[in-house]
Chains A and B, each alone.
Chain A
Amino acid sequence: MPQIFHHSTNFLAKLSIFGAIFILLAAMWVLAEINRSSYNTGQYIERQQPVQFSHKHHVGDDGLDCRYCHTSVETSASAGIPPTQTCMNCHSQIWADSPYLEPVRESWRTGRPIEWTRVHDLPDYAYFNHSIHVAKGVGCSTCHGRIDEMPAVYQASSLQMEWCLSCHRNPEKFVRPKEEVFNMQWPQENHTEQEIARGRDLVKSYHIQDAQTLTSCSTCHR
């Protein structure tokens, strides 16, 4: 009985074995990419807010300091979302009749808070503390990006654990002098050899803990 398949079909068999591995690897790669994509992380997605508050205008154009509104960023785990009162400090005087600001005035009149949509939402089992990061020279823009250039705020980082660890493992690549923490123009990351050397000095002088302690599970998870 003659052979059903020609000798050359062996190649196809070999190829399909290789192909299976390739397809499997490709599928894993695709899944990993989906997992890291903004589809999954919500990165770069601008959120609809009750008032289209522009950080670009208030920070970039008017030069407001972050801490004018986010008052507890240096003292508490939470940076703090400003009460309606903070808005009304200025907007009882300027743009006092703007229809865009009606929700703010309504909140002020009725005492009902404005309900903002959260942009940076960590999982509930991760405990992030703003104050310690600010105290150790981690700039606002390092995590939140160029807020002064965002008309509508989006999440600039993935907020995934590997992203957290990139800094907890190598803090010298990210820390900056404390006085520059709120400076939006300061580079978000230390790239050059010189910058990283400065970062190393800062890690030492700010007593930033070693990578092993910073990556202990209980540092962030409780």
Chain B
Amino acid sequence: MPSKESQTNFALMRERILATQDGKEYWRSLEELADTDEFQEFLAREYPQQAEEWHDAVGRRTFLKLMGASLALAGLSNCTYQPPELIVPYVRQPEAEVPGKPLYFATAMTLSGVATGLLAKSNEGRPTKLEGNPDHPGSRGATDHFAQASLLTLYDPDRSQTLTFREEIRPWTEFLANLRTALDEQRGKQGAGLRFLTETVTSPTLAAQLKEILTAFPQAKWHQYEPAGRGLVNAGAQLAFGQPVNTIYRFDQARRILAIDSDFLSCVAGSLPYATGFIGGRRADESRDMNRLYAVETTPTNTGAKADHRLRLRPSEIENFTRAVAAALGVNMGSAGQAQAAGAHANWVAALARDLLAARGASIVIPGDEQSPVVHALAHAMNDALGNVGKTVIYTEPIEANPVDSIQSLRELVGDIDAGRVEMLVIVGGNPVYTTPADLKLDLNRLSKVKLRVHLSLYKDETSEICHWHIPEAHYLESWSDARAYDGTVTIIQPLIEPLYNGKTAHELLAAFSDQFDRKSYQIVRDYWMGQMGGKGVVSGERQAGSTQASNPSGDFEERWRKALHDGVVPNTAAATKTVSLKADWASQPPVPAPQPSTLEIVFRADPTIYDGRFANNGWLQELPKPLTKLTWDNAALVSPKTARDLGINNEMGSKGGNIFVDAVDLKYRDRVVRAPVWIMPGQPDGTVTVHLGYGRTRAGRAGTSTAAKPIGFNAYAIRTSDAPWFGTGVELHKTGTQYQLAATQTHFNMENRKVVRTKSLVDYLKESEGEHREAMEHDEPGYNDSMYPPYDYKNQGLGYAWGMAIDLNNCVGCNACIVACQSENNIPVVGKEQVIRSREMHWLRVDAYFGGADANNPEGPYFQPVPCMHCEQAPCEPVCPVHATVHSTEGTNDMVYNRCVGTRYCSNNCPYKVRRFNFLLYQDWTTPTYQLMRNPEVTVRSRGVMEKCTYCIQRIQLAKIESEKEGRSVRDGDIVTACQAVCPTQAIVFGNINDQESQVAKLKAGKRNYSLLEDLNTQPRTTYLAELRNPNPEIPERA
């Protein structure tokens, strides 16, 4: 550990900010905002090659000795032969299979039951990459980071591989025999002791199977528990309408949006199409207008970052704030719910209400899934009052097979277990032992009252540990199943590969409870759909959208089944719209009492990268910097800078390499205590602590298991209770005096206060764009294209291509899907927390988050900026390479030749954008056989000692060029889609030929918002940025 003197004291930094009141325009971390000497020293030392010097146990002499020996041995390494290789062709080649050409199959991934349609790429039968399915309403061609990273879970060697009974390996048949015996016992009691616990079920087939079982065992019960997911949406609908409904928002139609603690851009069902629609309404270049987003929230989220106005409120203030807005909109809340004074935010609320009322029928009020039922009901009433229902807000039948309040369902189950009424508990998926709230914990004490416990799951986790039977679950890429999208559309989930580890699906497990106990999931799903679309020729069932599609009654099932598999959607299965009206007594709940300003409040949220803990063993997600904190491998308790000062808590950044040590505190909530590191989060409301769920797993796998020696976050479930699952008051925070080291990437690859992010208000932009204004010309240092060498003629070289990229900051919502997509496409390794601390993360693409303004407590933004390799025309990395390992191609890409690279790292030293990554160690796993299956065969797997960086997905460029040349044409615009571009829900990244004036990228670059990063260096980057626009309400003062 570095000495105390060399560390930055956070309190000192704060004092300095207060003293000068002259903060920077944009900053990524509090350390940067404070701009202390230590931070400057850190910047100067930032290059990772110095990272090894300060806490390397190996001394200089040992190092020299080892170096000498390895130099001597290095010569020998060239003497290896390529080992002889075998070619193993098919015996009977499948019809569509062409060796060397990937096939794509439509399937879907579910998260909390909600499906995202995918196209899975299969190289000779191995799924190697996932793309969004353009025909699927929940994807529209885009995917989120969870879907991208799910590929790693498929190949995870830590996944459960064997069926066990009390940790002993048993065959499936023995399980079946045992189960039949137990079932026969239950049959006499009509299944009175039988309980099923599932996650949210949207699968029509699974629901039908459960229904069938419940008919055979009328006394048995089906419970659903989902730790994160849809939160209190159902309870809210129940309060407002007296029945569960599914709400779909049409952001593409909305001009004014109020998000009440809702992160609709990243973490709710339908967030991908929502992001697409939302950004679609912000393309000011075409429409000369933009929608306006007001976000009222506690924990800073991506939605708050993109908001034109963000108001930070404590969780207890949100309901009263919502009431005030509702009152201003003229919603009649009756006598019980009369609004309180809007208080400090009266002007804000009045301006907001005027703006919303001016956009009647084209506005949206969206409540957060985690908000209380009252807030949901108020939002429904506001949408009703604004005339949005049927226009921007659509009510449909629920998509869940059996919509329940998940906490209530769990409470009933726990009640039954405690009363000894449960003899056999079947846990289908999920990890309830870990994820259940502390007061309803399904721990060993409680579960030992259940005689027979069966658990189906992907991993041998905390729940499997205390269940008698553990059944390995098949990954969705190995399974036949089905699931509904956010609007109800069904996708048949088809497998890409035989189960790697003999996994079983939920369908196969449930089939064991029926007479046909050994049916395969293919048969089960197919038979179900044969019943649905077979004879009658249409999809029947109570949730059919209208009855207009009753065509082709004698149609052939096989044909329709194949079409549904091919398209990835079953036609006409979207949930039917529903007309609902507010219950008479919806507003009968009395308002919550005003918050006590002195008490601390706590907020629980699903983690932005590992969700509720299910992705804890996924290295791609663990190492993915969280969108706003940029933390990796850990969660932390987030507090605002002011609260941190009040509590005397510091973040200490070592001046050497940016080792970040933070205070660890004891979080005491309702007599339960957990020890957590504190992260000071700009934009967090004062007096609140946010903790993310999903960490502190005790049995997750090699990457995710947290031990005392090597902690991976802390378990926030330990202090979560069922009566306040999302927020509560009265948390206490006690300093422990110990420190904890976090790996945050926000200080890595710092741009040293150069103005790399440009933002503008819509009004200014429109005014300027009338004239000859160009973003590039505005700034002091002029861009100049002078060079001693004659310019290279890209037009008349080769085929006349010049590849380039435009990144529209106005579109980027900071969701991070591009980072994982790049990792998956380009075989980028995971390095681990200790290496991330040394600034050695390997992501070719990083997304920087720049806060704005001088107020650390209530900053603007942050503004997101994805930074890949710029592919500079005058690339500073090229002339410094002694071995020509990085050179320019005739199409303007900056190529990296791994085999020439000797690892001098001069190039990364000379790169002003800090986008080059060096393999300090052998990060890539060369030995695990399953990982070998996963890799993209089109991209070299790099070894130790080699520099690497973004290639513009050169493999995709070459493929498109080869295909076009075989057809005797030029590459068309849109033929080449880089991996990051393909996943982006908002088309923030556009790639193409800039020589072609008609290409989308050339048009974007010709636009007035276009600018280059560090233009004054005359690197002439091929990747350029489009400035971000904001559309603030002129009636609201800038920092409300």
Q: Residues of A at under 8 Å CB distance from B?
A: 71-72, 75-78, 80-85, 107-108, 111-118, 121, 123-125, 127, 129, 131-132, 135-136, 207, 209-210, 212-213, 216-219, 221-222
Q: List 22 A-B contacts (CB under 8 A).
A: A71-B98, A72-B99, A76-B100, A78-B99, A78-B100, A80-B99, A83-B90, A84-B91, A111-B91, A113-B91, A115-B87, A116-B87, A117-B85, A117-B87, A125-B899, A135-B965, A213-B798, A213-B890, A213-B891, A216-B889, A217-B897, A221-B898
Q: Is B939 an interface residue (CB 8 A)?
A: yes
A209-B798, A213-B890 are contacts. A131–B91 as well, Cβ < 8 Å?
no
CB-CB contacts of B694-706 with A at 8 A, as 1s and 0s?
0000000000000
What is the CA–CA distance of A132 and B89 in the complex, to the nearest angstrom?
Answer: 22
Q: Is B966 an interface residue (CB 8 A)?
A: yes
A72-B99, A83-B90 are contacts. A217–B84 as well, Cβ < 8 Å?
no
In terms of DSSP, what is the predominant structure of the interface of chain A? Answer: loop
Q: Which residues of A contact B84 (CB under 8 A)?
A: 117-118, 121
Nearest CB in chain B: distance from A46 CB, A: 13
Nearest CB in chain A: distance from B581 CB, A: 60
A117-B84, A118-B84, A124-B940 are contacts. A213–B799 as well, Cβ < 8 Å?
yes
CB < 8 Å: which of B100, B799, B899 contacts A77?
A: B100
What is the CA–CA distance of A82 and B99 in the complex, to the nearest angstrom?
Answer: 10
CB-CB contacts of B58-100 with A at 8 A, as 1s and 0s?
0000000000000000000000001011111111110000111
B82 touches A123 (CB 8 A): yes
B400-408, B814-822, B954-962: which lies at the A interface? B954-962
Nearest CB in chain A: distance from B247 CB, A: 46
What is the CA–CA distance of A125 and B899 in the complex, to the nearest angstrom?
Answer: 8
Q: Which residues of B contact A107 (CB under 8 A)?
A: 91
A222 touches B897 (CB 8 A): no
A72 touches B87 (CB 8 A): no
Across the interface, name the chain A residue whose C-beta is closest to B939.
Answer: A222
What is the CA–CA distance of A216 and B887 in the complex, to the nearest angstrom?
Answer: 8
What is the CA–CA distance of A136 and B968 in the complex, to the nearest angstrom?
Answer: 10
A131-B962, A135-B965 are contacts. A217–B887 as well, Cβ < 8 Å?
yes
Q: Which residues of A contact B767 (CB under 8 A)?
A: none
Nearest CB in chain B: distance from A106 CB, A: 10
B86 touches A80 (CB 8 A): no
Nearest CB in chain B: distance from A32 CB, A: 14
Q: Is B101 an interface residue (CB 8 A)?
A: yes
**Chain B CB within 10 Å, residue with most, of A114, A129, A213:** A213
B938 touches A222 (CB 8 A): yes
Q: Is B975 an interface residue (CB 8 A)?
A: no
Q: Is B810 an interface residue (CB 8 A)?
A: no
Give 10 nearest A-B pairs by CB, closest first: A78-B100, A213-B798, A216-B889, A76-B100, A83-B90, A77-B100, A81-B89, A118-B85, A83-B93, A217-B895
In the complex, chain B residues 861-905 whose Cβ is within 8 Å of any chain A Cβ: 887, 889-891, 893, 895, 897-899
CB < 8 Å: which of B88, B93, B891, B955 contacts A85?
A: B93
Beyond A83-B89, A213-B798, A222-B940, 6 additional pairs, beta carbon < 8 A: A72-B99, A129-B962, A131-B962, A132-B965, A218-B957, A222-B938
What is the CA–CA distance of A118 and B893 in the complex, to the nearest angstrom?
Answer: 34
Q: Which residues of B contact A132 (CB under 8 A)?
A: 962, 965-966
Q: Which residues of A contact B89 (CB under 8 A)?
A: 80-84, 113-114, 116
Q: Which residues of B contact A218 (CB under 8 A)?
A: 889, 893, 895, 951, 954, 957-958
B898 touches A125 (CB 8 A): yes
Q: Which residues of B contact A82 (CB under 8 A)?
A: 89
Q: Residues of B at under 8 Å CB distance from A?
A: 82, 84-93, 98-101, 797-799, 887, 889-891, 893, 895, 897-899, 938-941, 951, 954-955, 957-958, 962, 965-966, 968
What is the CA–CA distance of A218 and B91 in the complex, to the nearest angstrom?
Answer: 35
Across the interface, name the chain B residue whose C-beta is closest to A208.
Answer: B965
Q: Which residues of A contact B92 (CB under 8 A)?
A: 83-85
Q: Which residues of B contact A113 (CB under 8 A)?
A: 88-91
A76 touches B85 (CB 8 A): no
B955 touches A222 (CB 8 A): yes
A121 touches B85 (CB 8 A): yes
CB < 8 Å: which of B940, B966, B968 contacts A221?
A: B940
Q: Which residues of A contact B951 (CB under 8 A)?
A: 218, 222
B98 touches A221 (CB 8 A): no
What is the CA–CA distance of A138 and B110 in the complex, to the nearest angstrom?
Answer: 48
What is the CA–CA distance of A108 and B965 in the complex, to the nearest angstrom?
Answer: 38
B91 touches A108 (CB 8 A): yes
Q: Which residues of B contact A115 (CB under 8 A)?
A: 86-88
B797 touches A210 (CB 8 A): yes
Across the interface, name the chain A residue whose C-beta is closest to B91.
Answer: A84
Nearest CB in chain A: distance from B514 CB, A: 33
Q: Which residues of B contact A75 (CB under 8 A)?
A: 98, 101
**Chain B CB within 10 Å, residue with most, of A71, A132, A218, A219:** A218
Nearest CB in chain A: distance from B943 CB, A: 10
A118 touches B87 (CB 8 A): yes
**Chain A CB within 10 Å, residue with most, of B89, B899, B957:** B89
CB < 8 Å: which of A72, A118, A221 contacts B895?
A: A221
What is the CA–CA distance of A114 and B899 in the complex, to the nearest angstrom?
Answer: 33
Q: Which residues of A contact B898 (CB under 8 A)?
A: 125, 221
Nearest CB in chain B: distance from A72 CB, A: 5
Q: Which residues of A contact B890 (CB under 8 A)?
A: 210, 212-213, 216
CB < 8 Å: which of B98, B99, B958, B966 contacts A127?
A: B958
Nearest CB in chain A: distance from B1039 CB, A: 48
Across the interface, name the chain A residue whose C-beta is closest to B99.
Answer: A78
A127 touches B938 (CB 8 A): yes
Nearest CB in chain A: distance from B485 CB, A: 34
Nearest CB in chain B: distance from A15 CB, A: 30
Q: Which residues of B contact A129 (CB under 8 A)?
A: 958, 962
A108-B91, A124-B940, A132-B962 are contacts. A217–B86 as well, Cβ < 8 Å?
no
Q: Which residues of B contact A76 (CB under 8 A)?
A: 98-101
Nearest CB in chain B: distance from A162 CB, A: 14
Q: Which residues of A contact B899 (CB under 8 A)?
A: 125, 221
What is the CA–CA distance of A140 and B965 in the complex, to the nearest angstrom?
Answer: 19
What is the CA–CA distance of A195 and B938 in the complex, to the nearest angstrom?
Answer: 36
A107-B91, A116-B89, A209-B798 are contacts. A72–B98 as well, Cβ < 8 Å?
yes
What is the CA–CA distance of A75 and B962 in the complex, to the nearest angstrom?
Answer: 10
Nearest CB in chain B: distance from A160 CB, A: 12
Q: Which residues of B contact A72 (CB under 8 A)?
A: 98-101
What is the CA–CA distance of A76 and B96 in the complex, to the nearest angstrom?
Answer: 13
A222 touches B889 (CB 8 A): no
Q: Which residues of B contact A209 (CB under 8 A)?
A: 798-799
Nearest CB in chain B: distance from A29 CB, A: 18
Across the interface, name the chain B residue whose C-beta is closest to A113.
Answer: B88
A125-B940, A213-B799 are contacts. A117–B954 as well, Cβ < 8 Å?
no
**Chain A CB within 10 Å, residue with most, of B91, B92, B899, B938:** B91
Q: Which residues of A contact B891 (CB under 8 A)?
A: 213, 216
Across the interface, name the chain A residue whose C-beta is closest to B936.
Answer: A222
What is the CA–CA distance of A115 and B90 in the complex, to the nearest angstrom?
Answer: 10
Q: Which residues of B contact A114 (CB under 8 A)?
A: 88-89
